């Protein structure tokens, strides 16, 4: 339920505790409307994108990728962080090329979401990409190794149930895309 109050929690102080090319770790001191004060730690980012690429034969292009924090591989749609000042579509186009080696002739914005609303202010914009053309992949991140895999859409739910697809943003993107395929 939306509130009429434009700023229920007032930021008193903001301190950036650590930063890297992808995000910053921030501590805010805040005041509630009743005057009580508190501290909130969170990850601040320029945003992220995810692409649901559809090949001409209807299969979806996912990438197999190792995720350090979970110490496991998984299948996910291509995506990644936005650089500060970049727009979501440009970031999505770059991520598709870097992770799959494809470009897309048709782009449709499906929606957006916050991947972990209590931990980050990140907004992930999700796109459907069609009219794919293979190009040479341009790896931009030496710590990110992806292997593209074409999957029929009717297998996605089974891959989620089997734990092969465990990325929350990929699962949310699938929910947004499945009605448009």
Q: For 114-123, how does the pLDDT look when each residue is reduced to its tens digit (9 = 90+)?
A: 999 999 999 9
**pLDDT per residue over 9-51, tens digit each?**
899 999 999 999 889 999 999 999 999 999 999 999 999 999 9
The per-residue pLDDT for 68 is 81
pLDDT recorded at residue 138: 62
The answer, yes or no, to whether residue 178 has pLDDT greater than 90, is: yes
pLDDT of residue 28: 97
Domain count, the chain: 2
Kindly give, in sequence order, each residue whose CB lies less than 8 Å from that of residue 65, ignoring residues fewer than 6 positions away. 73, 74, 76, 99, 144, 145, 146, 147
Do 33 and 92 fall within a single domain?
no
**Same domain? 25 vs 89:** no
**8 A C-beta contact, residue 103 and residue 97:** yes
Angstrom distance (rounded) from CA 146 to CA 85: 26
Same domain, 130 and 152: yes
Instruction: Give the range of the structural domain holding residue 33, as residue numbers without chain letter.
Output: 10-45
| Residue pLDDT, tens place only, 52-71 | 999 999 999 999 998 888 88
61 in the same domain as 38:
no
Structure tokens at 125: 């914009």
Mean pLDDT for 150-176 is 97
Q: Which is more confidently placed, 136 or 119? A: 119
Residue 110 lies in a domain: yes
Does residue 3 have a pLDDT over 80?
no
């Amino acid at each position: 339920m939306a509130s009429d109050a434009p700023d229920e929690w007032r930021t008193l102080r903001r301190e950036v505790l650590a930063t890297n090319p992808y995000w910053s770790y921030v501590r805010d001191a805040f005041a509630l409307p009743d005057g009580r004060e508190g501290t909130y730690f969170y990850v601040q980012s320029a945003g992220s994108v995810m692409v649901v690429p559809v090949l001409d034969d209807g299969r979806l292009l996912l990438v197999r990728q190792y995720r350090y924090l979970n110490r496991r591989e998984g299948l996910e749609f291509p995506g990644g962080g936005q650089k500060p000042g970049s727009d979501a579509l440009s970031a999505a186009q770059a991520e598709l090329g870097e992770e799959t080696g494809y470009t897309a002739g048709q782009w449709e914005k499906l929606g957006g979401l916050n991947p972990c609303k209590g931990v980050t202010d990140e907004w992930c914009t999700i796109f459907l990409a069609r009219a794919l053309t293979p190009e040479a992949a341009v790896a931009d991140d030496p710590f990110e190794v992806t292997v593209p895999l074409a999957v029929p859409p009717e297998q996605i739910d089974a891959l989620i149930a089997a734990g092969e697809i465990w990325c929350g943003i990929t699962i949310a993107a699938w929910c947004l895309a499945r009605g448009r395929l």
